[in-house]
Amino acid sequence: MTSKKILLTGGAGFIGSHLASALAERGHRVRVLDIMDPQVHGVVPHRPQAPGVEMIKGDLLDAGALSHALEGVEVIFHHAAAVGVGQSMYEAADYTRVNSLGTAMLMEKVAKAGSRVEKVIVASSMSIYGEGRYRCTVCGPVAPEQRGRKRLLSGKWEPACPGCGLDLTPLPTDESKPLSPTSVYGVTKRSQEETVLVMGKSYGIPAVALRYFNVYGPGQSLSNPYTGVAAIVSSRLLNGKPPCLFEDGEQGRDFVHVSDIVQANLLAMEKDEADFQALNVGTGVRTSVRELARGLTRRLAPENNVAPRILGTFREGDIRHCYADITQIRTRLGYEPRVLLEKGFDDLAEWARVQKPLDRFDVATAELVSRGLVIGS
């Protein structure tokens, strides 16, 4: 592919910085627009900037900074977003402003006459599905609603069949599953995805939404207690504390290594088979949070061999299981996950071992508890 002028919003973040390096290595001219939020980057940012990448510290919501960042741009990767699921439930207005309004402002400028933009690729999320797909032994495949509080308080963690009430078995979730986000974060990710796809289609600008499953890998923001479970567990272990697992720890996710997310983005840019589509990016493998904690404990605290603390409580808005059906992205783009869990854990642990993260799990959880967002405590 010829060298492109690329804007990467949120390009100083965990995923964005990996993508920025990969694009620059391929000879593209990369410009990053990032607000450098201290919750993600710390007060003194420590993540090194990829060589050859132009950095603009600025806010997507600042029309002047955005226009400047868009000058001459041909391809946009839109990663700028506020990303804490729990936090989004008490900072709903802020999440909506940054994620939904920010995306609308970006697309308004992209759609303006004179824009040279050829493609927009937006970072979407599995959070827009809510619960994943399941099978009931009696009723067949079903898509259950969010689990009810009464059921959760009685310690029944698995969702019930909407038809007959029996416990369900998880299935891979494909893109046609009806969207049903269970957090404000999920609602804003859905609006980001839909805004980009709808405006792309209306203005004839190829647009792709990549629905990331649970991304992990080196460079994760270990001290950010609002981020994903792999980072939080690593940070606990490195501070000599046991991982804390909500529910019974058997909730299932699809943990996808950041390098595979980069692979998917590059393919979506280089090929046109994903244009105007929303595609899952995962591994297709379901892993429990308990297995994740076990794998990271073996690597980061082998001498203590600490058992995880099973909390038996649940976070409002959490889903039980969701893992990806990756048929679409395989078929359309030739994507294949390359880093599976054991190697991925090695990679994360090797990097995490030399970090000095702060463990803020207790503070962040206390905040959720005080707002009634951790139930059963």
The total of other beta-carbon atoms located within 10 Å of residue 360's CB is: 17
Q: One symbol per residue from 304 to 323: x for binding ligand UD1 (CB under 6 A), - otherwise; what is it?
A: -----------x--xx----
- List binders of ligand UD1 among 155-214 (CB under 6 A): 183, 185-186, 214
CA distance 148 to 140: 21
**DSSP, residue by residue, 44-78:** TT-SPPPTTEEEEE--TT-HHHHHHHHTT--EEEE
Identify the residue among 125, 188, 220, 221 touching ligand UD1 (CB under 6 A): 125
Identify the residue among 232, 238, 261, 373 touching ligand UD1 (CB under 6 A): 232
Q: How far is the CB of 374 from ligand UD1 (least distance, A)?
A: 9
Helix (H) / strand (E) containing 220? none
Helix (H) / strand (E) containing 65? helix 63-70
- List binders of ligand UD1 among 244-263 (CB under 6 A): 244-246, 251, 253
CA distance 70 to 66: 6
Between 189 and 332, CB nearer to ligand UD1:
189
Give phi and psi for 244, each to the nearest 5: -105, 125
Which tokens hold the place of 142?
């079903």
Stretch near ligand UD1 under the rule CB under 6 A, chosen from 8-16, 58-66, 92-100, 123-131: 123-131
> Which residues does residue 216 pair with via DSSP β-bridges, in sequence order?
257
Stretch near ligand UD1 under the rule CB under 6 A, chosen from 136-144, 240-248, 298-306, 324-332: 240-248
Identify the residue among 132, 228, 282, 295 touching ligand UD1 (CB under 6 A): 228
- Tell me how many residues contact ligand UD1 (CB under 6 A): 23
- List binders of ligand UD1 among 329-368 (CB under 6 A): 361
Give phi and psi for 177, each to the nearest 5: -60, 130
Identify the residue among 87, 100, 127, 235 touching ligand UD1 (CB under 6 A): 127
Which tokens hold the place of 42?
């710390």
Identify the residue among 171, 229, 269, 373 touching ligand UD1 (CB under 6 A): 229
CA distances from 71 to 107, 119, 205 (A): 14, 15, 17
The total of other beta-carbon atoms located within 10 Å of residue 51's CB is: 9
Give the chain's end-to-end CA distance (angstroms, integer): 54
Instruction: Give the SS3 label for residue 107.
Output: helix
Between 199 and 232, CB nearer to ligand UD1:
232
CA distance 217 to 352: 9
Q: How far is the CB of 208 from ligand UD1 (least distance, A)?
A: 17
Identify the residue among 24, 289, 329, 348 touching ligand UD1 (CB under 6 A): 289
Query: Based on C-alpha coordinates, what's the Rg of the chain?
Result: 20
Between 59 and 250, CB nearer to ligand UD1:
250
Examine the residue annotation and report whether 185 is marked as an active-site residue of this protein: yes
Q: How far is the CB of 205 from ligand UD1 (least distance, A)?
A: 25
CA distances from 75 to 205, 208, 210, 265, 289 (A): 10, 11, 15, 11, 36
Between 51 and 178, CB nearer to ligand UD1:
178
Q: How far is the CB of 315 from ligand UD1 (least distance, A)?
A: 5
Stretch near ligand UD1 under the rule CB under 6 A, chosen from 44-52, 90-98, 166-174, 242-250: 242-250
CA distance 269 to 176: 23
Supply the angle between the helices 102-111 and 63-70 in degrees, to the nearest 10: 50
Which among 185, 212, 216, 226 is annotated as catalytic? 185
Stretch near ligand UD1 under the rule CB under 6 A, chosen from 29-37, 125-133, 138-146, 260-268: 125-133
Q: How far is the CB of 192 from ligand UD1 (least distance, A)?
A: 12
Between 49 and 287, CB nearer to ligand UD1:
287
Instruction: Give the SS3 label for residue 34.
Output: strand
- List binders of ligand UD1 among 36-95 (CB under 6 A): 83, 85
CA distance 9 to 28: 15
* Residues catalogued as catalytic: 185
List residues binding ligand UD1 (CB under 6 A): 83, 85, 125-127, 183, 185-186, 214, 227-229, 232, 244-246, 251, 253, 289, 315, 318-319, 361
